Amino acid sequence: MVYYTDDPPQINRRMVAGYYLFLCLVGFAVLLGPTGGGIPTTLIENVHRNQHEIATPNYGTDPTDCQTCHPNEYGNWSVTDHATHMSVVNSTHVQIGAYVIISWAYFNTSCAECHTSGWDNSTGTPTYDALGVNCFACHNSTGYVDYSGETCSSCHKPSGEEHPHQYVPWQNSAHANSLTDLRSSSHAASYCMHCMSTEGFVYQQNPEMIGNDVDTGFDPNADYNAVSCPACHAVHANWSGTSPGMIRAVNATQLCANCHVGTYHDTYQLWTGGPHHLAGVECTDCHGYDIAPGDNVFLNHTFVVNPEVACGQSTECHEGQEDWAINQLEQIQSAFDALTDEILTEASALEDIITTYNQTDGADHDLVAEVMDVIDSVVSEVTYLINDGSHGFHDPMEFSQRLTDAYAQLLNAKAYFYENLPPDTVIETVTETVTVTVPVGGTDTLVLAGGAVGGIVVGLLLGALIGRRR
């Protein structure tokens, strides 16, 4: 604050008023300036309020018109396939990509709709403004692209044997149904939206793109888009020129790792260290492998693995050994499913017995709590491994070791429970009969009965039979 030098000091009201007037003028300069930097861009719910509505640029056909205000976006776009995939061969032929050379006549009638910008067929005679996919091909005259993926669908959909067909497979993917699945669950929450919606994912990586006037609480029931094309693909990202498909990461695996990680979606951390990861295989090498009509290979945007095709895709994989590879896959997954079912069944049977015992007079509640903690820990570990979704295949050695350790903890806890029951304890429980055969060590086999129809009496005798071996 500014004061007079009088004693006692007093507020210099004229200087303070001038100071605030100066701040207001600065604010208006930012607000009304050529770049409109003071107006945030609103991406949520496809509602946009930004500098374009104030500056009203003169839209033309030259993408360099955008460069003045958007130098970073322009620079990143200029090295992408959208910008570089077209080139003129001579007066009679044009080239698409690295190999396809066709006549101008064929290009103009059959290819120009997707390989040019400003394409117009309103008069029946197609015209376009420029070769390649520049700013105006996607942004048209509005300056915006919504986050539903519809803009991408006009080109990235089936139209013949030699064309990519990403959009329709994506429509049949879990990505396209992410919000539907979330909303139908019992745990839909805003903290899920960074991976279950496009806007949430973009905001997670680029929070500065969302204006302060936008509610970033991400209500799962609000009008957001499922995981669509713009969630994974960033035409303007600074890695667009080097990443395949202009994805929002240095490679596909790191992109997937943004969401397929954590307690409930732990695929990435369990896959890391597995044989495919150590061999340099990326997620999309298996989950994205596909053969389009005409034997043209394009990324499969359903991301559903087809082992019969993916395993034999090249000599670097298991080409010529597909039957062996698939047999290995099936054995690993069958063993995983059988063992996880066995552990969870045994845990449930033991929990029923302990719960019944806990309700009897004189029950040792400390013992109950101690053993129940182990059961909860084992169930959590098994559930964590199940959440990976590969049924043990992403890293068979780690899955096997962790399941073995979990089962050992459960059996030790069961033995400990029976060893520490007070003398003459009788527990009556009613469950379905569950018999589990478990290797204990050497050639011995231990048969554990987890209940009987009608009722069973469990006491020290049973405890001695299945007690911990010393």
Which whole number is the average pLDDT over 47-68? 64
With a cut of 90, say whether residue 461 has pLDDT above it. Answer: no
Examine residue 291 and state whether it is found in any structural domain, yes or no: no
Domain of residue 17: give its range: 1-32
Task: Check whether residue 97 and residue 11 sit in a common domain.
Answer: no
Task: Check whether residue 25 and residue 134 sit in a common domain.
Answer: no
With a cut of 60, say whether residue 107 has pLDDT above it. Answer: yes
Asked if residues 411 and 463 have their Cβ atoms less than 8 Å apart, the reply is: no
Token look-up 């080409």 returns 319
pLDDT tens sequence across 326-375: 999 999 999 999 999 999 999 999 999 999 999 988 899 999 999 999 99
Task: Check whether residue 352 and residue 409 sit in a common domain.
Answer: yes
Residue finishing a domain among 140, 168, 193: 140
Task: Check whether residue 9 and residue 72 sit in a common domain.
Answer: no
Per the structure block, which two tokens stand in for 138?
A: 């996607």
CB-based burial label for 375 (10 Å; 0-12, 13-18, 19+): buried
Examine residue 197 and state whether it is found in any structural domain, yes or no: no
Task: Check whether residue 21 and residue 73 sit in a common domain.
Answer: no
What is the structure's pLDDT at 237?
A: 83
Task: Check whether residue 12 and residue 132 sit in a common domain.
Answer: no
Upper half-sphere CA count for residue 387 (Cβ side, 13 Å): 16
Residue finishing a domain among 110, 140, 170: 140
What is the structure's pLDDT at 217?
A: 80
What is the structure's pLDDT at 470?
A: 30
Residue finishing a domain among 101, 125, 140: 140
Reported as a pLDDT band with limits 50, 70 and 90, residue 141 is: low
pLDDT tens sequence across 13-49: 665 556 556 555 545 444 444 433 333 333 444 444 4
Which amino acid makes up residue 94?
V
Examine residue 433 and state whether it is found in any structural domain, yes or no: yes
Task: Return the bridge partners of 3, or none.
Answer: 11
Task: Check whether residue 10 and residue 78 sit in a common domain.
Answer: no
From its phi and psi, is residue 468 left (phi > 0), alpha (psi between -120 and 50) or beta?
beta
Residues in the chain: 470
Task: Check whether residue 12 and residue 118 sit in a common domain.
Answer: no
What is the structure's pLDDT at 18?
A: 60
Examine residue 296 and state whether it is found in any structural domain, yes or no: no
What is the structure's pLDDT at 292?
A: 59
Task: Check whether residue 27 and residue 135 sit in a common domain.
Answer: no
With a cut of 60, say whether residue 181 has pLDDT above it. Answer: yes
Examine residue 272 and state whether it is found in any structural domain, yes or no: no
Task: Check whether residue 26 and residue 64 sit in a common domain.
Answer: no
Nearest to 41 by CA among 136, 138, 143, 141: 143
Task: Check whether residue 437 and residue 365 sit in a common domain.
Answer: yes
What is the structure's pLDDT at 15?
A: 59
Examine residue 357 and state whether it is found in any structural domain, yes or no: yes
Asked if residues 178 and 123 have their Cβ atoms less than 8 Å apart, the reply is: no
What is the structure's pLDDT at 296?
A: 60
pLDDT tens sequence across 264-305: 899 999 999 999 999 999 999 999 987 655 556 678 899 999
Examine residue 273 and state whether it is found in any structural domain, yes or no: no
With a cut of 90, say whether residue 161 has pLDDT above it. Answer: no
Examine residue 167 and state whether it is found in any structural domain, yes or no: no
pLDDT tens sequence across 189-227: 999 999 999 989 988 887 766 555 456 788 999 989 999
Task: Check whether residue 67 and residue 128 sit in a common domain.
Answer: yes
pLDDT tens sequence across 368-426: 999 999 999 999 999 999 999 999 999 999 999 999 999 999 999 999 999 998 877 77
Rounded Cα distance between 454 and 456, Å, is: 7
What is the structure's pLDDT at 58?
A: 57
pTM, whole model, 2 decimals? 0.75
Which whole number is the average pLDDT over 139-163? 78
Task: Average the pLDDT over each of 17-21, 148-152, 250-254 and give the range with the smallest value.
Answer: 17-21
Reported as a pLDDT band with limits 50, 70 and 90, residue 12 is: low
| Mean pLDDT rounded to a whole number for the chain | 79
Which whole number is the average pLDDT over 142-148? 74
Rounded Cα distance between 217 and 148, Å, is: 20
What is the structure's pLDDT at 24?
A: 56
Rounded Cα distance between 379 and 411, Å, is: 13
Counting the structural domains of the chain, the total is: 3
